[in-house]
Amino acid sequence: MSQAGQWTATVMARRDTGDYAVVTLSAGTDTSTARPGQFVSVKVAGPDSALLLRRAMWIGEATASGREGGTIEVVADLREPGGAWLAAQPQSARVDVIGPLGRPFSLPRDPTTCLLIGFETATAALVKLAEDLVSRGCRVRFLLLGQNVAYGALTARRFSSEIMDSSGRITSPRDATLSQLDDSVEVVYSAGTTEQLQPVGQILMGKGVAHQAAVETPLVCGSRTCTLCALPVRGRDGVTRMVRACTEGPVFQGDFVRWDDLGTVPGDCLGASEEIR
């Protein structure tokens, strides 16, 4: 895993896509350690604010270095007070950021066909991944699910002409996933909340397709303390343990996540930390 650091980042730009704002931050340092599927923890609001908790945000596009260090894009949810606060910051405002955090996606050794399934703002986790896959000679197909897919559609178009966009109509994630699975797809990468990914994970179970899932959970502390991000994952020894998405994830091998049991296993089963992957 790449080394996380604390940055005093500078707000460079903001552009809105539907309910979200894409905020570009200059980290003031080299961000080349950031990998697809990782996230940052952003301190939102000032010392007098009632917003006490940091916010976890996916890293979208990233440039490694420049005159003022590397830049990253994060996607802020305008419907949520922390996201709205970040989006409202003027150009040149300073923001406290910790990152990159979490386990990233793994890339296939050989060129292959990959299906990238992104839900709403979590599609940001797939953007840099698509770029890296294409640069390795992989064929990339996007499936964008949810009502707010504008950001994903915009960026996906740069890396693939194969984009299925579900905006504006109700599409069952299960049916949509099945419709995109053909014999050419060898790897599926997905990103979304546990509720969004559950039908995708269930349908891919036992299909013989490698599946890596970037799971968005409530990341309250982001540092192994609160356990609110825990989810049931089967280890290589066959034993299920509750593991923390903030440190053991957010990317998991889909076949090891107990999709059927999400939300049913009590958090006090939190086992000793184990290398799941």
> Which residues here bind ligand FES, judged by CB under 6 A?
219-222, 224-229, 244, 246
Q: Which is nearer to ligand FES, 185 or 228 (CB)?
A: 228
Q: Which is nearer to ligand FES, 25 or 245 (CB)?
A: 245
Smallest gap from Cβ 16 to ligand FES, in A, equals 28
Q: Which is nearer to ligand FES, 227 or 240 (CB)?
A: 227
Amino acid identity for residue 50 in this structure: A
Under 8 Å between Cβ of 211 and 253 = yes
Query: Which two tokens mark 184?
Result: 């050419």
Smallest gap from Cβ 101 to ligand FES, in A, equals 10
Beta bridge partners of 45: none
Instruction: Indicate the DSSP class of residue 198.
Output: H
Q: Which is nearer to ligand FES, 55 or 211 (CB)?
A: 55
Cα dihedral across residues 2, 216, 124, 134: positive or negative:
positive
Geometric angle at alpha carbon 218, from 212 and 220, rounded to 5°: 125
Q: Please state, in angstroms and rounded to a whole number, the distance separating the CA atoms of residues 112 and 260.
A: 29
Smallest gap from Cβ 259 to ligand FES, in A, equals 19
Q: Which is nearer to ligand FES, 210 or 230 (CB)?
A: 230
Smallest gap from Cβ 78 to ligand FES, in A, equals 23
Smallest gap from Cβ 272 to ligand FES, in A, equals 14
Under 8 Å between Cβ of 171 and 161 = no
* CA distance readout (Å), 96 to 42, 56, 66, 252: 6, 12, 19, 28
